[in-house]
Amino acid sequence: MAIGYKQMLAEADAEVASVTVEEMSGRFSSDEIVMVDIRDPRELERDGMIPGAFHAPRGMLEFWIDPESPYHKPAFAEGKTYVFYCASGWRSLLAARLATQMGLDARSLRGGFGEWKKQAQPIGEKAARG
């Protein structure tokens, strides 16, 4: 029997450490943390992103994280804590679960970029690290 997205999110939430906007405020630019924006490029162009975040489209994560992949990105081999975020926190929770399964120290930003904006945190233009 197939599972629905609610069950997938509940399972991921039980496995993945999440952080709040309050916890990340002032820490998002730390040298030990890589903020990873997995939203679609159109979302970034429309809404901006967390300053200094690395953009990694959700559809490429497996390939960008795996060091054996021809598409591997060095940003995922830095041995840091990776905080994934999307618009609401759902996609990033699943992405953080995947990243954890692939060996990264990954977290999910609760409430995503929407909560970040709601709490009047800094917003920058689309840019990429890595």
CATH number for the domain that contains residue 89:
3.40.250.10
User: Contact, 88 vs 78, CB < 8 A?
Assistant: no
pLDDT score recorded for residue 11: 93
Q: Would you say residue 130 has pLDDT above 80?
A: no
Which stretch of DSSP H or E encloses residue 15?
helix 5-15
- As a whole-number percent, the residues of the chain with pLDDT over 70 amount to 96
Does residue 100 fall inside a structural domain?
Answer: yes
CA distances from 114 to 12, 14, 18, 103, 127 (A): 20, 22, 15, 27, 18
Domain that holds residue 77: 5-118
Count: domains in the chain: 1
| Confidence class for position 125, pLDDT limits 50, 70, 90 | confident
Does residue 68 fall inside a structural domain?
Answer: yes
Does residue 92 fall inside a structural domain?
Answer: yes
Does residue 127 fall inside a structural domain?
Answer: no
What 8-state DSSP symbol labels residue 28? Answer: T
Q: Minimal CA–CA distance to 66: which of 101, 33, 107? A: 101
Does residue 129 fall inside a structural domain?
Answer: no
Euclidean distance between CA atoms 97 and 38, whole angstroms:
13
Task: Tell me the sheet residues that pair with 18.
Answer: 108
Taking only the tens place, the pLDDT of each residue in 17-63 is 999 999 998 888 788 999 999 999 999 999 999 999 999 999 999 99
- Alpha-carbon Rg of the chain, whole angstroms? 14
Instruction: Average the pLDDT over 118-122 and give the result.
Output: 94
Does residue 130 fall inside a structural domain?
Answer: no
